[in-house]
Amino acid sequence: MAAGYSPEAAAAIVRIDATMQRMRRSISKREFVADVLREMDAGIDLQLLDVMGAVSHWHPENLEDAGREVTVGTVAERLHIDPSRASRLVSELVDKGYIRRVASQTDSRRIVLEATEKGWAFGEEFRRRKGGMLGRALKCWTEDELVTFDRLLDRYSHWGKEGLKPTPPPDAGEA
C-alpha cells in the first residue's frame, strides 16, 4: 500500500484518505456554508454568495487582483460560469440591494460592480457566523493543536499535482 512506511504510518495514510473522502463529500455539498446561510435567513443561496464573493474579493484567490474593477465578465471568469448566467445572478443581487452597477472610473463606457453597504454588512456577518461555527466545532482543541493543524493542513493543501502522480515501476535492471 504505502511502500517505505512503517505499518503505523501506512495505516495513518489509509485513514487520511478515508477522512479526505468524507471531507470531499461534505465540501462538495457545501453543507457547512449552507447551514450558515440558512441561519442568517437573508434570501441568499450558495450561488448568490459566490457572486458576492467574486464581486467583493472575499476569496483569497481574488486578492491578487483586488484593485481590478469587477464586471459581469469578471464574475463569470472567477466562477467558471457562462456570462449570461453570471448576468442573471448579478441582476438578482442588484434587485436584493447587495451589489450595484456603477460607471467604471477608468472607462465610463463600462459598467462595473461593487458591493453596497448592505452587501458588505452581509459579508461581514457571514464571515463572523462562519468563524463562530468553526470556532465552536474546534473549541475542544488546544491552541497548540489548532496552530499545528493549520500549518499541516496548509502544507498538505499545497503539495500540488506532483504528489498525485503514480510512482513509476522500478526499472527491470535494478532488481
Judge whether 37 lies within some domain.
Answer: yes
Q: What's the whole-model pTM score? A: 0.71
Judge whether 106 lies within some domain.
Answer: yes
Q: What is the pLDDT of residues 162-174, one digit of tens each?
A: 666 666 655 545 5
Residue 75 neighbours by CB distance under 10 Å:
25
Judge whether 170 lies within some domain.
Answer: no
What's the CATH number where 32 sits?
1.10.10.10
Judge whether 3 lies within some domain.
Answer: no
Please give the tally of structural domains in the chain.
Answer: 1
Q: What is the pLDDT of residues 5-16, one digit of tens each?
A: 999 999 999 999
Q: Which domain holds residue 121?
A: 8-155
Judge whether 175 lies within some domain.
Answer: no
Judge whether 65 lies within some domain.
Answer: yes
Judge whether 98 lies within some domain.
Answer: yes
